[in-house]
Every structure is written in C-alpha cells, then in structure tokens.
Amino acid sequence: MTPLTLSSFTATSALGCGLAPTLAALRAGRGALAPCAFETVTLDSCVGEVAGVDEVALPEGLTAQFDCRNNRLAWLGLNQDGFAQAVERAASRHGRARLGIFLGTSTSGILDTELAYRRRDPVSGALPADFRYSGAHNTFSLAAFVRRALHLSGPAVVISSACSSSAKAFASARRAIAAGVIDAALVGGVDSLCLTTLYGFHSLQLVSRAPCRPFDVARDGISIGEAAAFVLLEPAAAGPAANGVQLLGTGESSDAYHMSSPPPDGRGARAAMQAALSDAGLSPQDIDYINFHGTGTASNDEAEARAVADVLGATVPGSSTKGATGHTLGAAGALEAVICALALQDGLMPGGVNTAQVDPTLPVHYLRANRSGPLLRVMSNSFGFGGSNCSLILGRAG
Amino acid sequence: MSAQPAPAAWLEGIGVLGPGMPDWPAAARVLRGAARWENVPTVLPAPHGLPPAERRRMGSLVKLTLAVGLEASAQAGADPATLPAVFSSSGGDGQNCHEICQALASADRLISPTRFHNSVHNAAAGYWGIATHATPASNALCAHDASFGAGLLEALCQLAAERRRVLLIAYDASYPEPLRSARPIPDAFAVALVLAPERGAAALARLSLAVGGGRADTLADAALESLRTAIPAARSLPLLGQLARGGAGRVVLDYLDDTRLGVAVSPCP
C-alpha cells in the first residue's frame, strides 16, 4: 500500500484521558486494572474502567438521540489532544463529504438496552418509553454520533467483528482512500463496559480474577477494559506530518475454524501477519517490536506465540499492553495502534505489566520491562471471535 | 456534491432470499413484473456444510446468509472458500440479543456461552467461514438503515484496492418483542452479489458507483416499496429490479441521511 500519515491521534482508556497520561503510564510501567465495581456487577474480576464517563455531556442537541455510555466515551475521547480540531482542519482541507468515518465497536450502546430490560412493563413486557434503538443500541450509533458531532457528511460505517473491529477499520479506511472514494479518514474504536461482555466472557470461563497476565506461565484469562481511540489518516502528501508516524500495511484473514477459539497452530493469525508484511512490502526482520493481541487466555496466547514465531521468528521483542489497559474489545485495535504510534515517537517498547514469569513453553521474546531504542516499524495484532484476524504495521516516516 | 471517481465491478452472481422471494430467479420474475409478489414469510432453508454441532448452535441469520451466499457463488462459478467477503447487517441476530438481555435482567444474570459468542455482529461471517472453509478476509459492517449501501461501497473499494473477486452479503432479520416495537423489521431479507474486478465469462453486468445526493429510487409496486423501506437490506431492490429487467440504466440507492449511492448498470450481452 501507499503509506498514509497518522496526522493526529489520541487515546482514552483506564490509563487516562489523552496521550500524556497514556504515555506516562507506559513509561512508568503502570497498569490501571482494578476490582470490578461497574454498575451492579458482582463478578470477581478486574476491569479497566475509564473514570468520569458517566459525567460526560454530549454536544448540545445530540443528547436526546445519542446519549449512552459508549457515545459519552467517544465524545470524551474526541476532545483530547486537539483531535476534534484536527478533524475540523482536515474537513476544511478536503471537504466535509470527502472525509470518511470508519469506527470499530463490538457492543455500542447495548448497556442502555440491558438496563431497559430491567424496566419492562410488568404486564405488556414493553420497554420503557425512553428507550432509544438507533442512537444507542444499534451498532452504527457510534459512527452516526461522531458524524453528527463533528459535522461530517462523507461515507460512514461501523466495523463490528468483535475484538478485531477497530484494527479492521484501518484496512477499510485505507482501501476507501486508495479507491478515491474519500481523501482522508477518521478511524478508531470505542467500546465501553456493559453486562453482555462482562457476563458473557465469564460464561466462557475466560475471565481472570486477578489483573490479566498475558503470556505468563500462570495466565488464566482476560480482564475487560474500555477505551476510545482515534486516528486521522491522510495521504502522506496531504496532511501535516508532524507526528512522523505512518500506516504502512494492513493484513486480514479468517480462521474458518471455531466461533470463540483459534486453531492451535495459529494459522489464521499467521496469514494476517504475512498479508500485512506483503502489503507493506517488508520482510519479517524489518519489524522492531510487536504489540501482541495477547489477551491472557491460555489458548489465545499460545496460538499467537506460535504464529508470531513462524512469521517473525521467536526473537522479535514484543508485549501485550492489555495487562495495563485490559482488553478493550472492539476498541483494542485502535487503542493499540495509538500505543504503537507513541512507541515509535518515543522509542519506547512498553513492557507488559502484571506478567511475572513468561511461559517458558511459548516461543516469544516477551518484554516484561520497558526497553528504549530507535523503533522504525512495529506490528500490532488483533484477533476476534468468529476467527476474524487483522494485523497492522506502523512506521516512522522517511 | 463534487464529481467523484467511480469504483466499478463486474457482477457475476446474485443471491436473494426474502418474503415471497425464495431465490434470485423468483425475485427477478417479481421485479420485472412477470409474476405477482406474494407477501409470504421468508422460508429459511436447511443449512449445508456445517457440522452437526455448529448447526445446533447457529441462529437463523446463518441459514439466511449461507443460502444467498451459496446461490450467488454458484451462479458466478466461484468456490466460496476463495472469496473475501463483506457482510453487512443493520442489526445482527435480534432473537439472540433479546435472549441475552432477558437473561441479564433476571436474578442470576447467567447467559449461555453459545449465546454470547453468537452475539457478535460478525457471527454470520464466522459461521460462513466454518461452513465454506473460506479463509480470506471477511468484514462485518453496520450502518443502520444504510447497511446495504455501506456494504456495496466497501465491496467496491476492496475490488479497487485489491483487484480480486469479493462476495457481498447484506442481510437483516426481525427482532422479537419488545425490541420489535422499537425496530420493526417485518421479516428476514438477504441479498448476495459476487463482484469481480475484470470482465470474465460469468459477467452479468458492469456496475459503477458514485457517492452523491438526490432522491433514492422507489418501486412502482406499493407493496414492494414498503418492503424496500421496511428492511435495510431490501434497499437493494431498485438495483435488483434494474438487473432483473436487463437493460442499461442508473439507479439511486438509499444511503446515509442526505447521501445516496448512484449505481450505473450496463448488462453484458
């Protein structure tokens, strides 16, 4: 692919709102997972909850249609690091109809529906009169809200392929730019805590009681987090390149194996990574750091380790930042792409927090402590239910 | 709106399943006026290809998408295992969503693992891969009422960027009450298109697409027009009608708010 510039980016997660607290936490090797106190949930687990989401007010005039936790988190995220202003400048440069929106989410505003089901009419079973479908429950609510809030009029879509959603958003966006349908893209992911995912992963016995420990010999499941992460993608020549970070390649594949577990040999993951390398025109030895999908479940980490060793070799340094942020599901791809962009700018390979002893049976070079050094190209993996795999390669410009 | 480059594709296969439309040939007869449309409920065929364990777990959307995807692939003479796929749906599996919300509102909040993994918006895409052994990329999109247009746009961008055949499946199904009152989709409807970057032996028509404004085409038959507006995937009907009639022409499809998709259709002789 022709490289695209990340002309602005931002992330809001349990690590904090915006890039400064995110980078500070990564530099300090600090995680943000805490015992779950979300809503009325009594599950014995840890979550990465973003502080203050419930206090966020949506822009004037959009509350009645779009107010829900997921859109509040989106609005909180858009207002960090001057991101909304950067989108406004790009819309002026390219035209409002020429800036596309590609966002990933797995559960959108389903929390509102979950809570509304507690208030059904005892006789008729009807949902309460204040229930809203299109602006909250529907998967597209996120992109519809962002399109209205930022006054954009170009193509807009939500990619919802579980935990690969917002990584795949980058692939869709770059194709639309390559096809000439748009000139720039607002890409990202927003997923917020809800009962479906908290109780759902619990039902699959995939949730750790402790903060998750990716690649640890004693890893025993995920910790769920929430995040809003956004990137403005523009052709290298069109936007300001002050950040110096580019999207170099995307690769996607399907496992065609099982709805909720990967093939043990990680062949789908392997295919996605190989496709990303091919798309970027790079060799395995060009990758300086890999941000693993690294959820912290026994089988996911094992399959990914085998796949990475097959494609990149077992010596490429890597880590999963989910020990710090939790697994932010549909937002993970975008959040971890932003973490990779920070890593490239800062020359920082973030060590994976919580992991005490790396599983000696896994063929990986897993970083438990931060390492600094010049980084030119990094890979980020995102794999989801349904066997949906996506790998991204980012690099420094020039 | 400014003139924009038009991504284009060669259409090689069509699959349709909806109320009174058991397959594309039957839908085409209705859409070109050779048969009356009977508003009878969509009949989902038994699924092919899935192992019994998966067949027990899958919801109605899997049957719906397998039926249209296999019909379109067969017409195109394409092995579905080789096709990248774009799945687009306004709402996913409403019955499954209802069951989960009901369980989460109960005292014990216990939901079944199968219900949970079937709740992802890409469940139909995942089962499609398991059933057809398709390992190329599949996408899972949602754009509410604009989901057909969003899927068509994504499919044509994939063709333009990657120059390989792609399968588009747009599909929707009803919610049960109480969600049905908030989102009254009357029945299941799905459409599948196999699209190719070059003209091959299977080419039926050339489609070229432009994002623009204007008014979306409507259908002359009032009953079919109500189907078009009631089910997001049926926003494809003006395009299917043009293909059924067989002539060259241009249709305007519903997309987002004030944005439309214009599709120029040139049939292959």
Does the beta-carbon distance from A125 to B178 stay under 8 Å?
yes
Q: State residue B134's pLDDT score.
A: 97
**How big is the A-B interface in CB pairs under 8 Å?**
226
Position A134: which residue type? Answer: S
Query: Which portions of chain B are predicted below pLDDT 70?
Result: 1-5, 57
Nearest to A196 among B119, B141, B146 (CB): B119
pLDDT exceeds 90 at position A85: yes
Q: State residue B51's pLDDT score.
A: 76
For residue B257, tell me if it sits in a domain: no
Q: State residue A241's pLDDT score.
A: 55
Which DSSP symbol is given to B185? -
Q: Read off the CATH number of the domain in which B100 is found.
A: 3.40.47.10
For residue B233, tell me if it sits in a domain: no
Does the beta-carbon distance from B110 to A117 stay under 8 Å?
no
CA distance B132 to B147: 24
pLDDT tens sequence across A120-162: 999 999 999 999 999 999 999 999 999 999 999 999 999 999 9
Q: How many domains does chain B have?
A: 1
Q: State residue A388's pLDDT score.
A: 97
pLDDT tens sequence across A28-40: 999 999 999 999 9
Nearest to A175 among B97, B109, B161 (CB): B161
Residues in chain A within 8 Å Cβ distance of B180: none
For residue B79, tell me if it sits in a domain: yes
Mutate to test the interface with B, among A98, A181, A274, A297 (most CBs of B within 10 A): A181
> What is the side-by-side order of every strand in the sheet holding A34-35?
A34-35, A46-48, A224-225
A236 confidence band (pLDDT: 50, 70, 90): confident
For residue B151, tell me if it sits in a domain: yes
Range of the domain at B17: 9-204
State the smallest CA–CA distance between residue A297 and chain B in angstroms. Answer: 16
Report the Cα–Cα distance between both ends of chain A, in Å, rounded. Answer: 15
pLDDT tens sequence across A355-364: 999 999 999 9
Q: State residue B48's pLDDT score.
A: 72
Tell which residue, B211, B252, B209, B188, has the closest CA to residue B21.
B188
Token digits for A29? 């090797």
CA distance B166 to B85: 6
Residues in chain A within 8 Å Cβ distance of B129: 254-257, 386-387
Token digits for A269? 């993951």
CB contact at 8 A, B216 and B23: no
State the smallest CA–CA distance between residue B181 and chain A in angstroms. Answer: 8
For residue B248, tell me if it sits in a domain: no
CA distance A258 to B255: 33
What is the rounded (10 degree) CA torsion for A281, A283, A288, A294?
Answer: 90
State the smallest CA–CA distance between residue A206 and chain B in angstroms. Answer: 10
Q: State residue A14's pLDDT score.
A: 98
Q: State residue A32's pLDDT score.
A: 98
Label residue B229 left, alpha or beta by phi (over 0 means left) and psi (-120 to 50 means alpha).
alpha
Nearest to A118 among B105, B125, B134 (CB): B105
Q: Output the DSSP codes for B81-129.
A: GG--EEEE-SS--HHHHHHHHHHHTSSS----HHHHHHTSTTHHHHHHH
- Beta strand residue intervals within chain B, DSSP E: 8-17, 85-88, 138-142, 166-172, 189-196, 205-212, 249-254, 260-267
For residue B218, tell me if it sits in a domain: no
Q: State residue B30's pLDDT score.
A: 98
Does the beta-carbon distance from B113 to A260 stay under 8 Å?
yes
Token digits for B245? 């009639």
pTM of the model: 0.98
For residue B255, tell me if it sits in a domain: no
Tell which residue, B99, B96, B86, has the closest CA to residue B119.
B96
Q: State residue A238's pLDDT score.
A: 59
Token digits for B13? 């296969």
A332-346 and A19-28 helices, crossing angle to 10°: 70
3-state secondary structure of A390: strand
pLDDT exceeds 90 at position A53: yes
Q: State residue B55's pLDDT score.
A: 72
State the smallest CA–CA distance between residue A65 and chain B in angstroms. Answer: 14
- Beta strand residue intervals within chain A, DSSP E: 4-13, 16-17, 34-35, 46-48, 99-104, 156-159, 184-191, 224-225, 227-235, 245-254, 289-291, 317-319, 348-349, 365-366, 371-372, 377-384, 388-396
pLDDT tens sequence across A240-266: 555 699 999 999 999 999 999 999 999
Q: ipTM score of the complex?
A: 0.97
Residues in chain A within 8 Å Cβ distance of B92: 139
Residue of A nearest to B255 (CA): A155
Nearest to B130 among A95, A141, A257 (CB): A257
CA distance A268 to A254: 6
For residue B32, tell me if it sits in a domain: yes
* Active-site annotation of A, residues: 163, 293, 327
State the smallest CA–CA distance between residue B178 and chain A in angstroms. Answer: 5
Does the beta-carbon distance from B143 to A386 stay under 8 Å?
no
Once rounded to an integer, what is the mean pLDDT over residues A164-168?
Answer: 98
Residues in chain B within 8 Å Cβ distance of A199: 104, 109-111, 116
